[in-house]
Amino acid sequence: MASLLGKSGGSVGGVEVRSIQNVPRPVLICRESETSQLSNALEHALIGNGRAIALVGEVGIGKTQLLSYVKSEAVSRNATVISATCSSLPGSPPLWPWREVFSNLNSEHDLESTDTPLDISSIQSSAADAEQNLELFANIVSSLREASSTNPLLICLDDLHWADSSSLDLISFAVSQLSSAAVSIVISLRAAETDSNPATRKMLNSLNRLEHFSRIEPQALSNTEVREMVETAINHTVSRDVVAEITRKSHGVPLFVEELARQIGSRGQKLASGLPSQIKEILDAHIDSLSDGAQLWLQTAAILGQSFRPSDVVEIISRSELASEDDRLLEDDLDFADRAMSAGILIASLSHAGQIEFTHPLFSEVSRARLGVGSSIKLHAAAAELLEETTDKTL
């Protein structure tokens, strides 16, 4: 077989990739149900009953941590672990994560000796080439099957919300074909980006139809779990008030809990005020990915709180005079909500029909803090006026 990226794996596009021989067991607070589902899937795959799992959840909820857990389990059972992470950088070639997978596999197995010609870069984009792509997919799957006959395989693909559509199609195809092979495939995706992207939705819909596929949605940590995580991190007890404050600020998201835990005073009685810079940077990076107009729209929405009606945002902007002063707001306003949803900042509210909400309360806090004083006064005045009118009407 034509080597995809060279027999030794080595470097792909400057990125060092290697199959994993030794993964330290990650620190995992709680997550008993998730880890037992992952271990169970692995057990089945090890004896030739292929399994696939999608870890779906918001940023920082612990998807990558769970992937580390399943990798360490697989290594301890002598399976071959292959891992690839998608990048948010634009311009990755089609099938990028799969190129990494094969680079790893090339270095583990002598795939060059197989008869199947495989040139992963030959993926075509037009629908007319679907037949040719199917043939390539079939060859890829047969290489995986062949590799797994020597040693069971665990393939972990992280951050697939950034994957190209061919990679996602190949996942659906590979999972559907490998139910009787010693292969487990565990993927992770961010929930909001997944819901707003037709390609990831299509992949999950097709996977959902398969009996050997399951979806795990790690949930936010409870108050008790936050306490456990904080006390483990700082290695001493913390007061009830501090735990309550961290739970409120973090919304139970482990990434934020971890960062807030660093702000606890030496005796565990007090939390420093303000947001840790790392949390702020993560939230800012999400917001910065939006256009200027969408950012101002979001800042206005944040005045209304955690959940709001998009029509109220439009109304406040038009009453505030900002619309005539600021041409950033001349873009189509419905688009703004769509873009913020695609960026994982907003989500359709499940509890309030017709409303949209921030995926995390910290997003509204940071957005509000970004408003300039002048705009803030005008927007607050317009919001108060609108609220008064709505209250009058309902009385």
In the complex with ligand ADP, the residue whose CB is nearer, 39 or 49, is 39
83 vs 375, beta carbon nearer Mg ion: 83
Binding status of residue 161 toward ligand ADP by CB under 6 A: no
For residue 160, the partner it binds in ligand ADP, Mg ion, none, with Cβ less than 5 to 8 A by kind, is: none
Binding site partner of 229, from ligand ADP, Mg ion, none, Cβ cut-off 5-8 A by kind: ligand ADP
Radius of gyration of the chain (CA): 24
What's the CA gap between 70 and 269, in Å, rounded?
A: 36
198: which 2 tokens? Answer: 């037709």
Residue 61 interface partner, choices Mg ion, ligand ADP, none, CB cut-off 5-8 Å depending on type: ligand ADP
- Per-residue x/- mask for ligand ADP, residues 29 to 48, rule CB under 6 A? xxx-----------------
Site pattern 211..240 for ligand ADP (x: CB under 6 A): ------------------x-----------
The interface partner of residue 282, options being Mg ion, ligand ADP, none and the CB cut-off 5 to 8 Å by kind, is none
Per partner kind, with CB cut-offs from 5 to 8 A, the member of Mg ion, ligand ADP, none near residue 65 is ligand ADP
Query: Residue 46 CB, nearest distance to ligand ADP (Å)?
Result: 24
Residues 6+ apart with CB under 8 A from 385: 319
Identified binder of ligand ADP from the candidate list 1, 3, 18, 28, rule CB under 6 A: 28
Least distance CB 283 / ligand ADP (angstroms):
13
What is the pairing mode between strands 51-57 and 80-85?
A: unpaired
Angle, alpha carbons 101-169-15 (nearest 5°): 30
**Contact between 80 and ligand ADP per CB under 6 A:** no
**What DSSP letter does each residue of 150-184 carry, written as one string?**
HS-EEEEEE-GGGS-HHHHHHHHHHHHH-TTSSEE
Candidate ranges 26-34, 305-313, 355-363, 365-373; the one touching ligand ADP (CB under 6 A):
26-34
Tokens 């993927």, residue located: 187
Rounded to the nearest 5°, which phi and psi values hold at 211? -70, -30
The residue ranges that bind Mg ion (CB under 5 A) are: 63-64
* 3-state SS, residue 331: coil
Measured from the CB of residue 105, what is the shortest distance to ligand ADP in angstroms?
24
Distance CA 357, CA 251 (A): 14
Interface stretch with ligand ADP, choices 55-63, 132-140, 267-275, 333-341 (CB under 6 A): 55-63
For ligand ADP, the closer CB: 152 or 254: 254
Which residue of 17, 59, 191, 260 would you call a contact of ligand ADP, by CB under 6 A?
59
- Given candidates 3, 35, 49, 64, which one binds ligand ADP under the rule CB under 6 A? 64
| Residue 63 or 378 with smaller CB distance to ligand ADP | 63
Q: Strand, coil or helix: what is 330?
A: helix
Show the site string, 244-283: x = touches ligand ADP by CB under 6 A, - = not: ----------xx--x-------------------------
* 128: CB partners within 8 A, 6+ apart: none
Residue 357's DSSP bridge partners are 307, 347
Exactly one of 23, 42, 52, 65 binds ligand ADP (CB under 6 A); that residue is 65
Q: Please give the residue whose beta carbon sits closest to ligand ADP in the complex.
A: 62
Closest of 265, 258, 294 to residue 279, by C-alpha: 258
Does 60 bind ligand ADP (CB under 6 A)? Our answer is: yes
Q: How far is the CB of 159 from Mg ion (least distance, A)?
A: 6
Backbone φ and ψ for 72, nearest 5 degrees, come out as -65, -35
| Residue 308: φ, ψ to 5° | -155, 165
Beta pairing class for 153-158 and 183-190: parallel
CA–CA separation, 153 vs 36, rounded Å? 19
Inter-CA distances, 342 with 183, 193, 285, 304, 348, Å = 32, 5, 14, 21, 11
The first and second tokens of residue 381, run together, are 């005045």
Report the nearest approach of ligand ADP to the CB of residue 350 (Å).
20
Q: What is the helix (H) or strand (E) element at residue 15, kind and residue range?
A: strand 15-16
Residues that bind ligand ADP (CB under 6 A): 27-31, 57, 59-65, 229, 254-255, 258
